[in-house]
Amino acid sequence: MNSTQLPSTVPTKDSKTIPGIPQDVIDEILDHLSTDSDPGSLRACALVSKSWVQLSQRHLFRAVGFNSRDVDGWFKAFPVPEESPAHHVRDLRVWIGGGNSVPEKFLKYVHWFTNVEKLSLCGFGGSPPVRTPSHWRLPQSITSLILDTSVVTLIQARDIIAQLPNLDNLSLSRTLMPAGEEVSPGVGAAPRGRFSGQLLLCGGCASQDVVDMLLETPSGLHFSAIQIYSMRECLPSAVRLMEACSKTLAKLSHGVASLGKSQPFS
């Protein structure tokens, strides 16, 4: 009995192919979903196919925050740093004070976030869990730094800033802890950022010691916008800072706290 051959023009089941979705269409879909406050849709996209995983992670991990519980979950999900989505993160927030602060081992891991642009170190209350920021390996890609914490000393803040040569924007809030030693100009690592963006100083972070530390920058300060909210006794230091940026300063906001109220500086 002769077997019947299928015509060459008729595709078999195995040879049938499904047309791929153009890359620009995929990008458009994911960009649209990334504006949704619910990340569930992006997670679902990561399950479509292997080729969609990296594309979805680029949006899912664009902004990431860590406390002690998040760190455990991250290392469990991504035990191999080279295979983690850390390189997708652009906005990194780390809790370094209080009961939920990250372990110091995580701060030695931060250099794997190679494309971070904005780093926020937050936390207050309790003893500072980190002691050696000069030994951290922070990404050189960082252009914005926010220190919204009361568990960092002035010396530690200077060590952090000194690691960021591309720093443009700087925000120092709350009050830096006493260092237990006098901080003199020229001692320790000096800030070396570009400092051409925005500067925000609040409360005790507008003190003479902080301003002296910033003025140590060898290349000078070139901020285009400055916001300072401080006590009246910090006014002379604020004036020195403004004078240092007089050639580049385009926007200035200054408030002086008096009798519990913030009064604009004329």
Residues 227 and 265 in one domain: yes
Residues 172 and 229 in one domain: yes
Q: Is residue 93 part of a domain?
A: yes
Residues 265 and 179 in one domain: yes
Q: Is residue 110 part of a domain?
A: yes
Asked if pLDDT for residue 166 goes beyond 90, the answer is: yes
Q: Is residue 68 part of a domain?
A: yes
What is the tally of structural domains in the chain? 2
Asked if pLDDT for residue 243 goes beyond 50, the answer is: yes
Mean pLDDT lowest for which of 46-50, 72-76, 92-96, 164-168? 46-50
Percent of the chain with pLDDT over 90: 36
CA atoms within 13 A on the CB side of 39: 11
* Closest to 210 measured CA to CA, from 225, 194, 231: 231
Query: Would you state the pLDDT for residue 257?
Result: 73
Amino acid identity of residue 82, one-letter, is E
Residue 31: in which H helix or E strand, if any? helix 23-34
**Confidence at 9, pLDDT banded by 50, 70, 90:** very low
Taking the C-alpha atoms of residue 212 and residue 208, their distance in angstroms, rounded to an integer, is 6
Burial 29-41 (b: 16+ CB within 10 A, else e): bbeebbeeeeeee
Residue 115 belongs to domain spanning = 61-142
Query: Would you state the pLDDT for residue 137?
Result: 86
Q: What is the mean pLDDT of the chain?
A: 78
**Confidence at 210, pLDDT banded by 50, 70, 90:** very high
Q: Is residue 129 part of a domain?
A: yes
Taking the C-alpha atoms of residue 33 and residue 42, their distance in angstroms, rounded to an integer, is 6
Q: Is residue 116 part of a domain?
A: yes
**Confidence at 83, pLDDT banded by 50, 70, 90:** confident
Residues 195 and 258 in one domain: yes
pTM of the model: 0.77
Residues 116 and 182 in one domain: no
- Partnered with residue 155 across adjacent β-strands are none
Percent of the chain with pLDDT over 70: 67
The DSSP 8-state label assigned to residue 21 in this structure reads: P
Query: Would you state the pLDDT for residue 3?
Result: 45
Q: Is residue 55 part of a domain?
A: no
Q: Is residue 216 part of a domain?
A: yes
Q: Are 98 and 125 in contact (CB under 8 A)?
A: yes
**Confidence at 150, pLDDT banded by 50, 70, 90:** confident
Residue 210: in which H helix or E strand, if any? helix 208-215
Asked if pLDDT for residue 14 goes beyond 50, the answer is: no
Mean pLDDT of 70-78: 90
